[in-house]
Amino acid sequence: MEALRVCWVLLGTLAAGSAQLLFENIPSVTMDACNTTVLIPCKVNNLIENNATKMFVKWKLQGKVFLSYDGVDNIFVRNRTFESASLNVPDLPSGNASLLLSKHEAIPGNYSCEVVEASREGQTLIELIYVSATWFRPVEHGVITAFIILGNILYWAQFGVVAKMYDMTFSKKIGLGIPGIIATGFAVIGCILFAADGYASGNQAGLGLIILPAVILVPLFYFLFTSVFEKQPLFAIILVVLKALGYVIAVVGFALCVSACRPKQSSVVIAGLVIIDIVAAIGLIYIIVLGFNLKDHQPPRKAVEESLNDAKGVMLE
């Protein structure tokens, strides 16, 4: 076949002069960890025959041929390390000789695409550049991290206010403090893991540790209120329910994002965290205002031991 090809080229050169194929100019394409297949474009603009059976295509990487297609016999020849390399034969007559590769075989570097159509030929160079993928955009990344940190700060502020204004017993401080430390610990580890770039199991786990243990903050929020009120006012119950709702939304967002290399639902995660934080902030203001009002009156505390036992019961479930 090589002989025939050379023959054609020579004949063509004699017949038509040294006709050149011209290509769409695409100097480079990029890929990242999210690409499963890679397409390296190669498009001829001035084919005349528009017939795949009169075409030859060669793809080279750093000057070495790894894929050739012989249109006369409709045969592909591949280098063993490029078994996935292919091109779409039905697209050839329109001048499209773009290369398809699986991501495992897509080595960054300078690819050249050589096309012969009867007597005419030409080649073009395309550089495949590897860029590291970012899972979330930096701003989303920052917002998620900031909101979980804020959520934890707000919890400790509530804890401090309740401890100071409503005379928390030592055992109650332990009962509310230890789960709080656990929640904050998870959030800190989560933020550190989540900070890594790219889409990998490390930062997926990080986001999980940011979102999932935040559930601890929901019952803690409720048990803080039990230190404030003997009977929970409707407003406090509503706040706890809203906080739980915010958590559920964040978890749904997490489930949608964790399996997507290019997550589109980061706003769901953020919305959940925002609700958690807003509710926590309202709760904080609420207990501060109540605390000041109650300073002159009898604090509506109920038996501290009883509520601590409630707390323990739920924590152990």
Ligand X SMILES: *[C@@H]1O[C@H](CO)[C@@H](O)[C@H](O)[C@H]1NC(C)=O
Residues within the interface to ligand X (CB under 6 A): 29, 31, 35, 38-39, 108-110, 127
**Residue number, 127 or 310, with CB nearest to ligand X:** 127
Q: Which of 208, 192, 188 is nearest to 259 (CA)?
A: 208
Element (H or E) spanning 291, and its range?
Answer: helix 266-294
Q: What is the 3-state secondary structure (H, E, C) of 208-249?
A: HHHHHHHHHHHHHHHHHHHHHCCCCCHHHHHHHHHHHHHHHH
Question: How do 75-78 and 109-117 pair as beta strands?
Answer: unpaired
**Residue number, 20 or 110, with CB nearest to ligand X:** 110
Degrees, nearest 5: CA angle 66-68-69: 155
**Tokens at residue 227, please?**
């230190």
**Residue number, 29 or 146, with CB nearest to ligand X:** 29
**Residue number, 29 or 188, with CB nearest to ligand X:** 29
Helix and strand counts by DSSP (H, E) for the chain: 8, 9
CB of 66 to ligand X, least distance (A): 15
**Tokens at residue 128, please?**
């495949």
- Three-state DSSP class for residue 44: strand
CB of 103 to ligand X, least distance (A): 9
CB of 41 to ligand X, least distance (A): 8
CB of 31 to ligand X, least distance (A): 4
**Residue number, 31 or 214, with CB nearest to ligand X:** 31
**Residue number, 35 or 169, with CB nearest to ligand X:** 35
- Cα distances (angstroms) measured from residue 53 to each of 43, 59, 97, 98, 118: 17, 18, 13, 17, 9
CB of 97 to ligand X, least distance (A): 15
**Residue number, 38 or 279, with CB nearest to ligand X:** 38
User: What does R_g of the chain's alpha carbons equal in angstroms?
Assistant: 32
Element (H or E) spanning 8, and its range?
Answer: helix 2-16
CB of 207 to ligand X, least distance (A): 22
CB of 35 to ligand X, least distance (A): 4
Residue 41 and residue 111 in contact, taking contact as beta carbons nearer than 8 Å: no
